[in-house]
Amino acid sequence: MKKKWGLIAVLTFGLYVVAMYFYFFYSQNSGIPATLKGTAADPSTFLTAQELVLSEDLSKIRNFLFFIATPFEWLLYIVIMSTGISRLFERWSPEQQKWAIWRNAMYIFLLSFLLFILQLPLDYYQYTLSKSYGISTQLFSSWMRDNVIDFWLDFGMSVIIVTVLYWLIKKSMKRWWLYAWALTVPFSIFLLFIQPVVIDPIYNDFSPLKDKVLETKILSLAEQADIPSEHVYEVNMSEKTNAFNAYVTGIGENSRIVLWDTTLNRLTDEEILFIMAHEMGHYVKKDIYLNITVYLLMTLIGLWLIAKIMPWMISRYGSILKIKQMSNIHSLPLFLLISSFLLFFSNPLSNVVSRYQEVRADEYAMELVENPEAAVSTFQQLTKAGLGEVNPSALVKWFRYSHPPMLDRINKVADQAKEE
């Protein structure tokens, strides 16, 4: 019976992969509306013939990989549980240790390392894909270093989170989810506070913006927007990518305005100022607080759903998944499976909120810099650098796009440019 369920899971995943493959490579065709042909939003007007082909091919592969990567993760969790690997890892943890955190650390290391190894081929393929299309410039040694850093940072946080979580489950099977959520609030704010000054510099080198003339222009914009800021930072990303980006991160005194050096090297000052005005729009509209609120609300709902779903699954499929009770740490893959499932299907909702914020930030940037021509060229350059898909299908937009499609963004600002 257990082998039957495992085979069903593998076959179901295989059929799903085939269905997604045919959808993205043979049936999906977003195209460009006839009314926008030849306009600034039409990629054929700002991409070369080769870039158009590369963009179309890369978008298909990226979308396909996105929709199979998470279900592949679900399959791994099911296999790890049903084959008894999770229980085996728990037995290997040193029971003689007095402190649960050390036993949990051993279990989490074994589980994390196994998942890291099993998912590495797919991650490596995505890395080589980006390299082959000229987007990534990162050496393998640098890419591997980032992956190792990710592993140890995730491991360290997981040990703390999981230890506290399972302690709460053992103390209160009925209300653990509420107590866990209450602890999520200060922990999330703490991570936001330390990220710019502790976590981000582990991956890249940050320094004050060297172009002081441009910095003066950016700080002048910040002053118009009533944003207290003394410095703009640049980060060396050209050794990793050809893509552009700029962002505002952190909260309070640790907040930072950051520009990638690729953005500085390949965009004009007017285009950079539009990007920075967009980021300032997020600050002025207090999007970070909205994001925190939405995240905490979705976390509360998610933990409550896990508290309902997980005991039911253990009571019904515990023998197949080799889980006797929820409070045993070998039930962690089931917790992660349900969490990943809920997170994946919450993407459309979180993306709607994000796209709403991005539209507001675009509108604010247009008001602040009053330069629609720079806005159009900025969006075109962003598309060109990342070989992005300007008009994705509805399915891709719902699940993948935290920003409005470039077709919509370019068309909107282009219309405003005509009016002026």
Residue 135 has pLDDT above 60, yes or no: yes
Distance, CA of 161 to CA of 36 (rounded, Å): 50
Beta strands, E only, 178-316: 206-208, 233-235, 246-249, 256-260
Residue 390 has pLDDT above 80, yes or no: yes
Q: pLDDT tier at 154 (50, 70, 90 boundaries)?
A: very high
Helices 372-386 and 269-284 pack at an angle, to 10 degrees, of: 100
Active-site annotation, residues: 279
Q: Count the neighbouring beta carbons within 10 Å of the beta carbon of residue 278.
A: 24
Q: pLDDT tier at 357 (50, 70, 90 boundaries)?
A: very high
pTM for the whole thing? Answer: 0.89
Q: Give the per-residue pLDDT at 124.
A: 96
What are the pLDDT digits (tens) for 321-355? 889 889 899 999 999 999 999 999 999 999 999 99
Q: Which of 368, 193, 376, 411 is CA-nearest to residue 281?
A: 368
Distance, CA of 348 to CA of 97 (rounded, Å): 44
Q: Which of 370, 390, 368 is CA-nearest to residue 380?
A: 390
How high does pLDDT run on average in the chain?
88
What are the pLDDT digits (tens) for 206-215? 888 888 898 8
Return the top range by mean pLDDT from 2-16, 33-47, 109-123, 218-232: 109-123
- Residues 6 or more apart in contact with residue 153 via CB below 8 angstroms: 199, 202
User: How many residues would you count in the chain?
Assistant: 420
**What Å distances lie between residue 232 and 204, 256, 367, CA to CA?**
16, 7, 21
